[in-house]
């Protein structure tokens, strides 16, 4: 029995050394991020398509409608005043019409609410003290919202300059960019925010 325990301890110590040497702990954290993100994504789609946001249908509808208007107002201000791209606005449908006959509508799926909820759930589910999670979640929501504004304004440049690349940019550049930002926030949390910094030890004289 003693020999078995000794062998088990030796194997465990060797495994820890290998994990530290090849940074397998970081790979484990990345795998956890991917797993949680994929589960949230498909659970969200199932919830929407099967249950239509039950039991909070009205709240979700109101939240998406309100956030769509916020995104529309803020992005059109930036496009008009900063980028100075001429356009005609139809506020009833949150639609922008551009001089080259291109148009872009900010509907509920463009509100960014899904990505905000994904980030909130991700941080809520991973390790770390809640006294830090609260402020980090609020900061992350703001950053994800800014990312959505960047996505909309970027797409306005594409649709007025390179309209033939609209579909590619929408599906393969700006949509994945959301997850790059969320992943960066997650790395920031895991590597910097959630870890207690140990005070440096001074060598006794």
pLDDT in tens, 117-133: 999 999 998 888 899 99
Cβ 121 vs Cβ 40: under 8 Å: yes
Residue 32's domain comprises 24-193
The count of domains in the chain is 1
H helices of 2-129, where? 2-22, 24-51, 57-81, 113-125
What is the reported pTM?
Answer: 0.82
pLDDT per residue as tens digits for the range 37-80: 899 889 999 999 999 999 999 999 999 999 999 999 999 999 99
Q: Which helix (DSSP H) or strand (DSSP E) does residue 104 occupy?
A: strand 103-105
Q: How many residues are given for the chain?
A: 205
Asked if residue 8 is part of any domain, the answer here is no
For the stretch 30-45, what's the b/e string if a residue is b when 16 or more beta carbons lie within 10 angstroms of its beta carbon? Answer: eebbeebbeebeeeee
Asked if residue 103 is part of any domain, the answer here is yes
Asked if residue 135 is part of any domain, the answer here is yes
Asked if residue 42 is part of any domain, the answer here is yes
DSSP codes joined into one string, 165-184 = GHHHHIIIIIHHHHHHHHHH
């Amino acid at each position: 029995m003693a020999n078995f325990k000794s062998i088990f301890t030796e194997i465990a110590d060797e495994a820890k050394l290998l994990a530290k040497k090849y940074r397998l702990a970081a790979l484990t954290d990345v795998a956890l991020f991917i797993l949680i993100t994929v589960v949230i994504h498909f659970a969200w789609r199932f919830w929407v398509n099967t249950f239509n946001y039950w039991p909070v249908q009205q709240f979700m509808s109101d939240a998406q409608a309100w956030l769509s208007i916020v995104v529309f107002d803020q992005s059109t201000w930036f496009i008009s005043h900063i980028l100075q791209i001429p356009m005609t606005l139809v506020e009833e449908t949150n639609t922008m019409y551009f001089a080259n006959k291109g148009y872009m509508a900010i509907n509920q799926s463009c509100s960014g609410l899904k990505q905000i909820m994904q980030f909130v759930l991700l941080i809520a589910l991973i390790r770390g003290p809640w006294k830090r999670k609260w402020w980090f979640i609020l900061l992350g929501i703001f950053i994800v919202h800014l990312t959505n504004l960047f996505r909309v304004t970027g797409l306005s440049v594409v649709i007025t300059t390179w309209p033939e690349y609209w579909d590619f940019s929408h599906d393969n550049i700006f949509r994945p960019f959301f997850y790059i930002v969320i992943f960066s926030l997650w790395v920031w949390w895991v590597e910097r925010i959630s870890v207690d910094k140990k005070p440096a030890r001074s060598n006794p004289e």
